A = this chain, B = another copy of it.
Amino acid sequence: MQMGMIGLGRMGANMVRRLVRAGHDCVVFDVSARAVEALERDKAVGAGSLQELVRGLRKPRAVWIMVPAAVVDRTIAELLPDLERGDILVDGGNSYYVDDLRRARELAPKGIHYVDVGTSGGVWGVDRGYCQMIGGEEAVVSHLDPIFAALAPDIASAPRTPGREARGGTAEHGYLHCGPSGAGHFVKMVHNGIEYGLMAAYAEGLNILRGASAGKRRRDVDAETTPLRDPEHYQYQFDLADVAELWRRGSVVGSWLLDLTAGALLEDPELERFGGRVADSGEGRWTIHASVDEGVPSPVLTAALYQRFSSRGEADFADKVLCALRHAFGGHEEKKP
């Protein structure tokens, strides 16, 4: 099958490679000519402009857009004059599903089909395959099945769920038509919300293990906290890289994120190369918006998001209010670090 790919960053470029390997034809464009050239060497057909890319595709055309969420609308606007009724646009980036709903509504009268695909896999996807959460019209999604199948991981990459044989479907192949427009990015959004929660669970647990030496620290110099009642209970010095490795086999908390944690701690046990300012990329926030709108509680996912805000100093003013109040009612002077 043939696919146009716009945006050849970490994700887009590797997806093209995986498609080409599977025998598909790819016409590719990026604002960086070097990115285009790199993929030409990998057997994709380079295009010098969006127009050239469109012209290089057979009808009905299928164009996969893999650009930052902020430039998707502009990219679509630039493509539109060259597209025709029946063509298909796929947004495989990290768009807010509410934008998908709007885009599908705007493109429908023009006869252009819009498909939203939440794509997970990160830098590992080129070998591991990409988990794809898909929203859009049934027939259009079916039409693109060979593309999704090629990008998806191998079914053998996880043991089969007992009872799945009877059910069939593409879910166990790592891609799924989740519902109408926006469904793909909605599921991806929640996926990332969960990801934040999982990451925070490991991070907090490791931090508690690390704190298990608290009883060894002298406390009399630190009057801002209450002294440990039982310092003899906190005399451990755990090797966190070993513990993370240990849990990878046979335990209940095994996961791909734990695999990565074990690797990161092995390489840099104190994680000294990291400063601890944690970014957040949109989906985590949108997940909380959905949770609140639906009236469904998500204390764990929200705590995980807020920890990221705090890591960037966004709680500082609130903390100062607490210091000011402690000073006001108790005459407490703040202790210096």
Contact = CB atoms under 8 A, between A and B. Distances in A.
A128 to B, nearest CB: 6
A272 to B, nearest CB: 8
Nearest to A118: B251
B267 A214 contact: no
Contacts of A306: 297-299, 302
Nearest to A298: B204
Interface string A168-211: 01011111101110110011001111111111111111111111
A79 interface: no
Interface stretch (A21-29, A44-52, A323-331): A323-331
Contacts of A329: 122-124, 252, 257, 260
Interface in A12-62: none
A9 to B, nearest CB: 10
The 5 closest A-B pairs by CB, nearest first: A197-B201, A255-B255, A211-B294, A276-B319, A226-B282
A194 B28 CA distance: 43
Contacts of A155: 249
A268 interface: yes
Contact of A129 (B238, B250, B305): B250
A121 B242 contact: no
Contacts of A308: 319, 322
A142 interface: no
A125 interface: yes
A250 B304 contact: no
Contacts of A74: none
A259 interface: yes
B266 A161 contact: yes
B174 A250 contact: yes
A267 B195 CA distance: 25
A134 to B, nearest CB: 10
Contacts of A247: 120, 131, 191
Contacts of A196: 201
A197 B200 contact: yes
A314 B296 contact: yes
A207 B315 contact: yes
Nearest to A212: B186
A101 B212 CA distance: 14
Interface string A217-246: 000000111111110111111110111011
A190 B318 CA distance: 14
Contacts of A162: 263
A164 B287 contact: no
Contacts of A224: 277, 279-280, 312
Contacts of A152: 249-250
Contacts of A309: 295-297
Contacts of A157: 249-250
A211 B296 contact: yes
Contacts of A164: 245, 266
A212 B128 CA distance: 30
A171 B226 contact: no
Given A251-B120, A295-B225, A212 B334 contact: no
